[in-house]
């Protein structure tokens, strides 16, 4: 049977989604839980390989098991077998051909900036604290220029192994809410570190050290060295995957 999971996690203490020999990962925790539940090892694949420190509210994962169990029973059991930082929000039986990565139509991420002068004891694990004023309207204008299909070479990690950096962006916007600045971006897919590199560069626009047109020009330059620094992982969350 093929099981589809919707997974939430606080990525603070994990080395990302993908299995790593040197420390805990989300994939590792889920595979241990699945093996205990079904009595046999199983590979758990995901819609996106989130990096170390990145969180998720809507990660989608899948695994195959010979034994059939009711979705509700799998949900309760896996939540009992995973650590407190990991939760299974939904379980569904799907066709064997379902692939959480290849079948995805889009992924939606949100980056959280905490903009009050003091640090937040509640949000500090899930946001980047920036206490200097930001020009939000300039950031919105720059973010809007990302809509449509572009080559995001200027915003991919140096070690990115993607075949190309062309991605289609459906949503790219900022919203102010209770002392926080929330950046939401939805696209067909993302190259490595793309959202964090976008945010790091958009913050430069907000600080006035980079103009809106200069930001737009980065799409044509296709040069990672010309864009801003990578924003901290703790502010990033995978919100949803659409199929």
Beta strands 236-242 and 128-129 are: unpaired
Sign of torsion, CA 168 174 175 181?
positive
Q: Are 116 and 130 in contact (CB under 8 A)?
A: no
C-alpha 148, offset from chain centre: 20
CB proximity list for 213: less than 8 A, separation 6 or greater: none
Which of 51, 73, 99, 151 is the catalytic position? 51
Bridge partners, 2 (sequence order):
64, 94
Find, among 196, 168, 187, 182, the residue nearest to 139 by Cα: 182
Angle made by CA atoms 76, 81, 84, in degrees to the nearest 5: 95
For 105, list phi and psi in degrees, rounded to 5. -90, -35
51 is catalytic: yes
Beta strands 86-94 and 180-187 are: unpaired
Q: Are 192 and 162 in contact (CB under 8 A)?
A: yes
Write out the catalytic residue numbers. 51
């Amino acid at each position: 049977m093929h099981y589809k999971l919707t997974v939430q996690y606080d990525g603070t203490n994990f080395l990302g989604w993908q299995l790593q020999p040197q420390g805990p990962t989300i994939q590792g925790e889920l595979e241990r839980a699945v093996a205990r539940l079904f009595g046999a090892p199983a590979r758990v694949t995901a819609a996106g390989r989130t990096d170390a420190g990145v969180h998720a509210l809507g990660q989608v994962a899948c695994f195959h098991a010979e034994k059939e169990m009711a979705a509700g029973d799998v949900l309760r059991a896996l939540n009992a077998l995973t650590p407190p930082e990991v939760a299974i929000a939904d379980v569904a039986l799907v066709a064997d051909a379902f692939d959480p990565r290849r079948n995805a139509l889009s992924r939606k991420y949100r980056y959280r900036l905490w903009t009050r002068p003091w640090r937040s004891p509640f949000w500090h694990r899930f946001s980047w604290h920036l206490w200097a004023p930001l020009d939000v309207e300039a950031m919105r204008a720059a973010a809007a220029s990302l809509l449509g299909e572009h080559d995001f070479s200027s915003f991919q990690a140096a070690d990115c192994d993607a075949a190309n950096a062309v991605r289609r962006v459906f949503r790219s916007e900022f919203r102010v809410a209770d002392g926080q600045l929330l950046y939401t971006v939805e696209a067909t897919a993302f190259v490595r570190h793309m959202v964090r590199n976008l945010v790091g560069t958009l913050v430069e626009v907000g600080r006035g050290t980079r103009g809106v047109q200069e930001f737009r020009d980065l799409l044509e330059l296709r040069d990672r060295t010309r864009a801003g620094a990578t924003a901290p992982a703790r502010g990033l969350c995978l919100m949803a995957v659409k199929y």
